[in-house]
Structures are given as C-alpha cells and as structure tokens.
Amino acid sequence: MYKRVALAVDGSENSLRATQEAIKLASLSPGCQVDVLNVADYSKSKDEVLHSYRVEELDIQRRRKLVAVEELLKQNGIIYHLKILHGDPALTIVDYTEQENIEFAIMGSRGLNTLQEMIMGSVSHKVMKLVQCPVIIVK
C-alpha cells in the first residue's frame, strides 16, 4: 500500500491521536516507514529561545516531548525515523513531503482561537491546501 508516510507531531494530545492513525495505516503496509516530523520555528518560539542558550538544548527539549510518540511506534513494531526540522511548520512539512517522496501525510489539528485562525490559519489547514499527497488531519 504505502512505503513512506509522514507523521507531523508537536507532542500534543492531537499528535498522539495522529500517531495512532499512522500506526493503523503503517500496519496495513508491511515495511512501511513512518517519518516522524517535528518542526521548530524559533522565530515564533520566543519563550523557548529566551529560556535556553543554544539551539541544541532546544532540540533536546523538543525530542523529550516526542518520547510518547516514539514509544507508541516501537510498541507496535513500526519502522520510523525521527526528523527535527527548522522553519515555518506548514511550509517545511510540505517541502519535506515533496523532497522525500512521501506518499501520505498525517497530522493532528491544532486548536487556535477563532481570531488567530481567521488571520493566520492553522498549520494543518495550510498543509492540507499545499501538500501534493493525501493527508489526514486528526482531531
């Protein structure tokens, strides 16, 4: 069915639900690799930058948030690779799927407030509009 699936996560509850869906999909395709993507946009993460001295420290903190996702994938015998990327989350996810020939993308929805969503739109909405492969957005 699928050889490579992208799972975009941020450590939230929605990410864990998206991980469950990725496991279901990957389980249907023996040998399927799940690329777990976490995108850090340090230009928007001022709080993280102010409380840390180095980008390496920020990456370690981000990786700790993804332990639950990794555990779920391991427990279910899913082949995965963790990628911590930097940049605008939506554009970075879209670029990654195109450059790496990803066949399917899965991500959680994020709950922005109504005003933010009207002005900026959500990452999941932007990805859905721009990505070339099929995408599942999990609530």
List of residues 6+ apart from 101 with CB closer than 8 A:
4
Residue 139 identity: K
Class of domain 4-138: alpha beta
Lookup: tokens for 87:
């940049």
Global pTM value: 0.86
Mean per-residue pLDDT, 11-19: 92
Q: Is the pLDDT of residue 79 over 50?
A: yes
Out of 18-22, 40-44, 106-110, which region has the weakest mean confidence (pLDDT)?
40-44
- pLDDT given at position 111: 47
CA–CA gap between residue 35 and residue 81 (Å, rounded): 5
Lookup: tokens for 114:
């109504």
> Can you give the residue ranges of every domain in the chain?
4-138
